[in-house]
Amino acid sequence: DYIAAAENHSTYKLTLATTRGKIYDRNGVALAGEASSLKALIIPSSKTAAELMGKLPIEKYNSITQQLKGKYPFVTEVEDGSCEGEGVTVYRVPKRYSYHSLAVHLVGLCGKNGGESGIERAYDEWLSDAAGELSVTCRVSASGRSLDGADREIDDTTPVSNRGVMLTIDSNIQNIAETSAKKYLECGAVIVIEIDSGEIAAMASLPSYNRNDVASVLNDSRSPLINRAVATYNAGSVFKPVVAAAGPLKRVRPGKR
């Protein structure tokens, strides 16, 4: 028991990324779960802090200053691998959305508690069942301080997230629809349907938004979060065209030409 307790207290586990089932187009191209980012595992020390000062942008460095003064290893996202060195290891990890994803409204948004909109919400249970994790376990001293250079154990179960949901969307047609819509529309929707099968090959809604920065559009008067292709919203009176069409008509009494 003492040996087991000592072993447990000599390790420190850090989660680099969590994943869930992917969302694919009809050709197997991933529309969600296709991106990646870089994360740095940092072992705090005065030497590490000094080296990172010249390698990280000042805003990023200031945001981790307190963690660099601590004793436990930590993970932070970085733009590139130039900061790697003694006390710093950079890993490429899965990311749910890229900054240029297709079918943003249709695929939807996934938050901390699961799917919040679109396919992410409709198939949340299926996608959650394919959850994976990428983690690294570090060795620490009896006082809890990180041991730089000690062996690290990496546990990667993210391949299970290759399971997921396949849509009828064709990413090539979707890309054309979105590109064309941006040329002619500020607010609106474009839907491409195959006549024979009734399958939806593309569905675009404008304006769009960046799922990695939803907070920036919460107060946008154009309501970018609305999927105008399927959502109900006030489009104005639809009877006015009928009245306008009836206006030019002239009533003729019986017996008169």
| DSSP designation for 114 | E
pLDDT at residue 7, as a whole number: 57
The Cα–Cα gap between 115 and 187 comes to 25
| Tokens linked to 103 | 């079918």
Question: What's the alpha-carbon Rg for the chain, to the nearest Å?
Answer: 27
Count H helices, E strands: the chain? 9, 13
| DSSP designation for 150 | S
pLDDT at residue 5, as a whole number: 58
Enclosing H/E stretch for 37? strand 35-42
Half-sphere exposure of 103 (CA within 13 A, CB side): 27
Please list the pLDDT of the chain residue by residue as tens digits (257 residues): 766 655 555 788 899 999 999 999 999 999 999 899 999 999 998 889 998 988 999 999 999 999 999 888 899 999 999 999 888 999 999 999 988 899 999 999 998 899 999 999 999 999 999 999 999 998 776 555 565 555 788 999 999 999 999 999 999 999 999 999 999 999 999 999 999 999 999 999 999 999 988 989 999 999 999 999 998 766 666 677 777 777 766 555 666 55
pLDDT at residue 20, as a whole number: 97
pLDDT at residue 84, as a whole number: 92
pLDDT at residue 146, as a whole number: 61
Distance of CA 165 to CAs 26, 102, 106, 110, 125, Å? 10, 16, 13, 14, 11
The Cα–Cα gap between 124 and 104 comes to 16
Encode burial over 194-215: b for 16+ CB neighbours within 10 A, e otherwise.
eeeeeebbbbbbbbbbebeeee
pLDDT at residue 141, as a whole number: 65
**Amino acid code (one letter) for 55:** K
Q: Hey, is 95 helix, strand or coil?
A: strand
Give this prediction's pTM: 0.79
Nearest residue to 155 via CA among 41, 9, 17, 53: 17
pLDDT at residue 80, as a whole number: 92
pLDDT at residue 1, as a whole number: 72
The Cα–Cα gap between 72 and 44 comes to 7
pLDDT at residue 182, as a whole number: 93
Q: Which residue bears the tokens 């004793």?
A: 71
pLDDT at residue 172, as a whole number: 97
The Cα–Cα gap between 255 and 257 comes to 7
